[in-house]
Structure 1
Amino acid sequence: MLRAPCDGLGGHRAQLIAALDAAISEAALQQEEEEKGQGSLFGDLLGGGPDASDTPRKNGAPSLPNIPTWTESERLQREKELLGFYISGHPLEKYRTECELFASHTVAQLGNWVAEPVTIGVVITSIKKQVSKRSGNEFARLTVEDFSGSSEVLVFPEAWGVIAERVRPDIPLLLKGGYSKKDQGVENATFIVEGVTRFEEVRANGEVAVAIELGPGLDLPAAVFEDVRAKVESHEGSAPLELRWRDASGRVVRFRSKSLTVTASAAILSDLRALLGADRVRLVRTGG
């Protein structure tokens, strides 16, 4: 993860931003006093001077307010607002696997007309609401972004009336839609959004399973599988747990637990991979 330049100043970003107004006010006051000559007239006599301040200090620097750190979503959103791009991460990163499993296209591929439905995994970085001159109904143009780039897509009034409340900036989404037949052969055809699903709902709805892949030659103590069960039970959730056995001929047999379900999170993947190996645990599309 990249670090922003201010990350080396001490404290976290929420503290630095919260302290910024006070720091600017103090600097402006000191400048004003110096311009009026008060800094040299009274400050030196009273043992203060330009560096004196009522602000509590620690190790020579003003203390920072005791406030919670920003969530990852808040941090990335503020980076986008300030810089116009994400610098320390990407909102889609935690759903990279779902993008690979459920998205049929990337944003970079939009504009190439196809007859079949298209699904993309994105975050929305801009929402432009407009009113149709013909019908008087509201529609929207959305700027969307994934790991491959950004593009503008269109939501017609009928669809916008249904999904508007679910569309928010910087929230990972699956957008489903396609292209108008009249745009066939048109350069850079407009992608038309017809439906939206939040990635967090994909996991919560059991559309993603945690798969453990085993096969001949795996030499693990029996106690490891007791640890696996303990980890699974400590991360109880809605995602199915699958055991996939690959025999010597390459044939795969799948078994789905009837009693164990897990949270499809980075934490359970990390715990299981530590026990079984990084290449033996992954997220899969349910039934895939």
Structure 2
Amino acid sequence: SAGILKMDFLGLRTLTIIRDTIDLIKISHNITIDVDSIPVDDEKTYKLFSNGQTTGVFQFESAPMKEHLKNLKPTSIKDLSAMNALYRPGPMDFIADFVDRKHGRKPIEYLHPLLAEILSETYGIIVYQEQVIQIANKIAGMSLAEADILRRAMGKKDLDEMARQKNKFVEGAIKNSIPKKIAEEIFVVIDKFANYGFNKSHAVAYSIVAYQTAYLKANYTAEFLAANLTNEFGNPDKVTLLLEDCRKLKIHVMVPNINRPSVKFTVDKGEIVFGMSAIKNVGINAVKEIERAHKNLGRNFKSIYDFTSNIDTRVVNKRALEGLVLAGSFDSIKGGRAKNFASIENALSFGSKVQAAKLSKVNSLFGDVEDEHFAEPDFPDVDEWEQKYALAKEREALGFYLSDHPLRKYETEYNSFSTIKLGDPDTFKNEEFVRACGVVTSIRTRMDKSGRNMAFFKLDDFSGSCECIMFGKVYAEVGELIVPESTIMVMGKLESSGDSVKLHAEDVIALSEVAGKFTKSLGILMDVEKHTPETVLKIKTIFEKYSGTVPVVIYVRTNGSSKRYLIDNKISINDHLILSLQNLLGEDAIAYQT
């Protein structure tokens, strides 16, 4: 109303990720990428969208969006822009119709030929605010300013103003040789969509940025994921999701390594080198000191004693050393995590003694002090940590699991029985009853008003984490299962309030018992193009070895569809059976069915 142009400037972390990815590509491939000049018809990029592999891709990361992309199979920026605009409350109801029209499963019909040129790119569905304005302009002869007034009136649902606008619209359409009945029908249609219409320039701009990130991920996967990890390491849930994406895409993320020090996540021969500044109590200065010492030494560190003899322990202090050991940074040299951790005090003392001797020689007036050789102390006699404990300490140092995940052993159970992914709150519905498989990473208890213990605990899976509450009655029955690092399945109702989501645990079962209690049949997915008759014979041999009472259903996939076969063999569910089938058919080919 003041006649002043309003401009919004949005700071996007995504743009930093794009820049960091381009820098890594330059280092790894000696190629300079200009994202404003990349092809907009890249086949690998649209395949990535169509497969729903959009973790890290701007605006297209949520689990529901990934499913919509798999159905849509976008082939243009226009498709992406429309999906971006439709994926919000209200217009989301039209996504299925949009997809069906794109793929010819539903006809694209227009109330008048003039609508075709306006709505063809969105398959006859009004998606954008600009389309409402164009329709009013083309059909009713309204000026663009008048058409925008119509759009705003529809959004406000002002009945008196709507009546005036309808008369004006219909009269204008009649003057344009459009029958009154058709004009009224068009008005009803645009009234239905006007309240949902999204700003097209916004949707297109965001979708272009999304396409750029997807292009980088599709063509320079390791560099893109490394840049994401660098920018997200303060968010453990996001890092967990990115690490799982790396695993699925077969991009190896190395554990931190004192002999490959790097402040940020970088790429070496297609593998991601861990950015050591992400380790708790190990700051940028400490990593730079390790880089300096490693370069000056001209060789790899051989032991924790060799390490402390060559670095400035005022910068890489005891707390930093503890973080480095717990995170696995010394795994590539002798000792093991337990022995190296127990050696930290001795190593710091030894390093100080060696460096004092070096300084004494440098400061000698005549420089005639002989080199003094110090024998490294023996490692303390301690047992190596069990994997469960080592992983817990690793998560303590990093904020997430890296070298392995306690849930990995139960991945088939997780994929089969979990009804939610803890890192995808977009899929959560308030009061929904769910099953969640995960590992307990923290717990605290207190007395309720009745004097009974209740528990508050955090559950982690491959996608993120969720806070859980267990009241006294349930805790008295199954509370012994809620201990740190235990792998469990929690059943209960979600409580969603804004950004806060909690799971009210009504029952808990150890994951080691879930398959035996819940499995009614074993599902096996076979792809005709991948598996031969020889594969079938091997499967039969496995079934005979592990015969039992559980039915087996085989789904044979061919040409995008699958057929279901219930076979004669019945099997006994156990780890050896599942591992044998996964080794033969792949990890994702096996599912427990309830």
Instruction: Show the counterpart of 1:23.
Output: 347
Report the Cα distance in structure 2 between the residues aligned to 1:241 and 1:67, rounded to whole angstroms.
Answer: 48
Instruction: Show the counterpart of 1:197.
Output: 509
User: 1:160-175, aligned counterparts within 5 Å?
Assistant: 160-175=475-490
5+ residue gaps, structure 1, are: 57-63
User: Which amino acid in structure 1 is aligned with residue 396 of structure 2?
Assistant: E
Partner-residue secondary structure (3-state), 2:375: coil
1:53 aligns with 2:375: yes
1:150-198 deviations in Å (ceiling 9; x for gaps) = 232211111111122111222222111115xxx7x85446431111112
Report the Cα distance in structure 2 between the residues aligned to 1:15 and 1:250, rounded to whole angstroms.
Answer: 53
Q: 8 Å contact 1:202–1:208 — kept in the other structure?
A: no
TM-score (norm 1): 0.68
> Higher Cα Rg: structure 1 or 2?
2
Report the Cα distance in structure 2 between the residues aligned to 1:189 and 1:212, rounded to whole angstroms.
Answer: 34
Instruction: Show the counterpart of 2:333.
Output: 10
Instruction: Show the counterpart of 1:282.
Output: 589
Give 1:252 shift.
1.4
5+ residue gaps, structure 2, are: 1-251, 258-328
1:139 aligns with 2:454: yes
Instruction: Show the counterpart of 1:244.
Output: 554
Report the Cα distance in structure 2 between the residues aligned to 1:219 and 1:144, rounded to whole angstroms.
Answer: 38
Question: Would the alpha carbon gap of residues 214 and 155 (structure 1) be closer, same or farther in structure 2, given more than 3 Å must change?
Answer: closer
Q: 8 Å contact 1:211–1:283 — kept in the other structure?
A: yes
Instruction: Show the counterpart of 1:156.
Output: 471
Report the Cα distance in structure 1 between the residues aligned to 2:567 and 2:345, rounded to whole angstroms.
Answer: 59
Give 1:122 shift.
2.0
User: Which amino acid in structure 2 is aligned with residue 170 of structure 1?
Assistant: E
User: Which amino acid in structure 2 is aligned with residue 148 of structure 1?
Assistant: S
Instruction: Show the counterpart of 1:59.
Output: none
Q: 8 Å contact 1:7–1:13 — kept in the other structure?
A: yes
User: Which amino acid in structure 2 is aligned with residue 165 of structure 1?
Assistant: E
User: Which amino acid in structure 2 is aligned with residue 242 of structure 1?
Assistant: V
Question: Would the alpha carbon gap of residues 202 and 23 (structure 1) be closer, same or farther in structure 2, given more than 3 Å must change?
Answer: same
Give 1:258 shift.
3.4
Give 1:77 shift.
0.9
Report the Cα distance in structure 2 between the residues aligned to 1:28 and 1:177, rounded to whole angstroms.
Answer: 56
User: 1:53-72, aligned counterparts within 5 Å?
Assistant: 53=375, 55=377, 70-72=385-387
User: Which amino acid in structure 2 is aligned with residue 255 of structure 1?
Assistant: I
1:89 aligns with 2:404: yes
Report the Cα distance in structure 1 between the residues aligned to 2:341 and 2:548, rounded to whole angstroms.
Answer: 38
Question: Would the alpha carbon gap of residues 157 and 82 (structure 1) be closer, same or farther in structure 2, given more than 3 Å must change?
Answer: same
Give 1:129 shift.
1.0
Give 1:90 shift.
2.7
Question: Would the alpha carbon gap of residues 261 and 139 (structure 1) be closer, same or farther in structure 2, given more than 3 Å must change?
Answer: closer
Q: Comparing both structures, which one devotes a greater share of its residues to strand?
A: 1
TM-score (norm 2): 0.37
Report the Cα distance in structure 1 between the residues aligned to 2:487 and 2:547, rounded to whole angstroms.
Answer: 20
Question: Would the alpha carbon gap of residues 120 and 271 (structure 1) be closer, same or farther in structure 2, given more than 3 Å must change?
Answer: closer
1:16-71 deviations in Å (ceiling 9; x for gaps) = 3344344234345667899999xx9xxx99x882x322636xxxxxxx67977545
Partner-residue secondary structure (3-state), 1:168: coil
Greater relative CO, 1 or 2 (CA 8 Å, sep 6+): 1
Report the Cα distance in structure 2 between the residues aligned to 1:87 and 1:266, rounded to whole angstroms.
Answer: 24
Q: 8 Å contact 2:552–2:571 — kept in the other structure?
A: no
Question: Would the alpha carbon gap of residues 246 and 84 (structure 1) be closer, same or farther in structure 2, given more than 3 Å must change?
Answer: closer
Partner-residue secondary structure (3-state), 2:589: strand
Question: Would the alpha carbon gap of residues 154 and 256 (structure 1) be closer, same or farther in structure 2, given more than 3 Å must change?
Answer: farther
Give 1:284 shift.
1.8
Report the Cα distance in structure 2 between the residues aligned to 1:105 and 1:35, rounded to whole angstroms.
Answer: 60
Question: Would the alpha carbon gap of residues 258 and 99 (structure 1) be closer, same or farther in structure 2, given more than 3 Å must change?
Answer: closer
Report the Cα distance in structure 2 between the residues aligned to 1:172 and 1:269, rounded to whole angstroms.
Answer: 23
Instruction: Show the counterpart of 1:60.
Output: none
Report the Cα distance in structure 2 between the residues aligned to 1:97 and 1:171, rounded to whole angstroms.
Answer: 17
1:109-143 deviations in Å (ceiling 9; x for gaps) = 299553442211222211011122x2222211112
% identical aligned pairs: 21
User: 1:216-231, aligned counterparts within 5 Å?
Assistant: 220-221=532-533, 225-231=536-542
Report the Cα distance in structure 2 between the residues aligned to 1:103 and 1:114, rounded to whole angstroms.
Answer: 17
Q: 8 Å contact 2:523–2:590 — kept in the other structure?
A: yes
Count the aligned residue pairs.
Answer: 261
Instruction: Show the counterpart of 2:581.
Output: 269
User: Which amino acid in structure 2 is aligned with residue 167 of structure 1?
Assistant: I
1:117 aligns with 2:429: no
Give 1:102 shift.
1.4
Partner-residue secondary structure (3-state), 1:82: helix
Instruction: Give the aligned CA root-mean-square deviation in angstroms.
Output: 4.3
Partner-residue secondary structure (3-state), 1:98: helix
Report the Cα distance in structure 2 between the residues aligned to 1:250 and 1:109, rounded to whole angstroms.
Answer: 31
Report the Cα distance in structure 2 between the residues aligned to 1:163 and 1:192, rounded to whole angstroms.
Answer: 14
Q: 8 Å contact 1:210–1:239 — kept in the other structure?
A: no
Report the Cα distance in structure 2 between the residues aligned to 1:4 and 1:266, rounded to whole angstroms.
Answer: 32
Report the Cα distance in structure 2 between the residues aligned to 1:209 and 1:67, rounded to whole angstroms.
Answer: 46
